[in-house]
């Protein structure tokens, strides 16, 4: 009798404690202008020049980033593979990775280098530590993001927000005298379902994650944006927000697995902070 009760009790504990965390979408909205100044765009800038004058400019959206300091930004690790550092293809054609920020995306900062997480390439088929850093020229913002050590258990059933700029099917062209029209920042309001045993995985194919690489023409949304909690940035989106919305619509009664769409900052906090301190010590 004792053994039967013990087995039953152990089974209940497993059912309660071992379910994966999932999320459900409450709604999707567009952020107000400059509501989150520290959420910026990582782009590939293509310039055609003649006699040191810009004749045409083509801006290709890569991923969303979060500014942690004046020169260090947080994004998804897979986004770094699309940065590249090709500079001058010809005397009149130049390609450079940049970060667009400020009111209506009016300011640019050149990307100086990228920092991959040491565990980004994992021997297992599933990508681990899909998180990375982008080092830029100094960025002037009135507010930078702070990191949160909250995990899914700490969030409970409270709402959180996943943010990301909408990538466009065709890269935006600007001409002399024309104003650059920046993409809008979309916000997915999510509720965490801790220990959820009814979770949709990345399969079947209709729910396979979409990575917006290498250009914005590969999907309607982008990745790399922050998961926002009132205590700070607690994670990074590792797949398209459009994928998350689409998968949620197809599976209205089930939540989406957190591990498939988000990399939490808490396990990587020391690595991030060490790089911030190291970057702050670099002479300007």
The pLDDT value given to residue 284: 55
Using one digit for the tens of pLDDT, what is the confidence trace for 161-176?
Answer: 999 987 654 444 545 5
How far is Cα 85 from Cα 108, in angstroms, rounded to an integer?
16
CB neighbours of 118 closer than 8 A, spacing ≥ 6?
129, 271
Using one digit for the tens of pLDDT, what is the confidence trace for 74-108?
Answer: 999 988 887 876 666 777 888 889 999 988 788 99
Please compute the mean of the pLDDT values over residues 106-111 and round it to a whole number. 92
Using one digit for the tens of pLDDT, what is the confidence trace for 230-255?
Answer: 999 999 988 777 667 666 665 555 66
Using one digit for the tens of pLDDT, what is the confidence trace for 188-244?
Answer: 888 877 655 445 444 333 444 444 444 433 344 478 999 999 999 999 988 777 667
Q: Domain extents for the chain?
A: 20-280
How far is Cα 9 from Cα 19, in angstroms, rounded to an integer?
16
Architecture of the CATH domain 20-280: Beta Barrel (2.40)
The answer to whether 46 touches 149, Cβ cutoff 8 Å, is: no
- pTM of the prediction? 0.78
């Amino acid at each position: 009798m004792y053994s039967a009760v013990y087995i039953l009790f152990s089974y209940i504990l497993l059912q309660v404690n071992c379910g994966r965390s999932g999320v459900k979408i409450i709604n999707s909205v567009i952020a107000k202008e400059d509501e989150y100044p520290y959420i910026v765009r990582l782009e590939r800038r293509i310039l055609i020049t003649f006699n040191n004058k810009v004749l045409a400019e083509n801006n290709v959206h890569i991923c969303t980033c979060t500014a942690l300091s004046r020169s260090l930004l947080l994004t998804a690790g897979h986004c770094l593979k699309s940065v590249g550092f090709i500079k001058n293809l010809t005397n009149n054609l130049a390609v450079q990775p940049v970060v667009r920020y400020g009111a209506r995306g009016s300011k640019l900062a050149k990307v100086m280098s990228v920092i991959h997480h040491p565990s980004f390439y994992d021997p297992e088929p599933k990508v681990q530590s899909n998180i990375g850093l982008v080092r830029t020229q100094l960025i002037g913002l009135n507010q930078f993001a702070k990191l949160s050590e909250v995990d899914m258990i700490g969030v409970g059933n409270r709402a959180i927000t996943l943010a990301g700029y909408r990538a466009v099917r065709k890269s935006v062209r600007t001409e002399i005298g024309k104003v650059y029209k920046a993409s809008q920042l979309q916000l997915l309001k999510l509720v965490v379902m801790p220990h959820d045993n009814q979770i949709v995985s990345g399969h079947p194919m209709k729910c396979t994650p979409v990575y917006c690489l290498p250009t914005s023409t590969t999907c309607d949304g982008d990745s790399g944006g922050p998961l926002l909690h009132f205590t700070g940035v607690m994670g990074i989106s590792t797949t398209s927000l459009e994928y998350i919305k689409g998968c949620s619509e197809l599976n209205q009664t089930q939540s989406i697995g957190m591990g498939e769409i988000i990399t939490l900052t808490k396990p990587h906090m020391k690595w991030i902070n060490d790089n911030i301190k190291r970057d702050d010590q670099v002479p300007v």
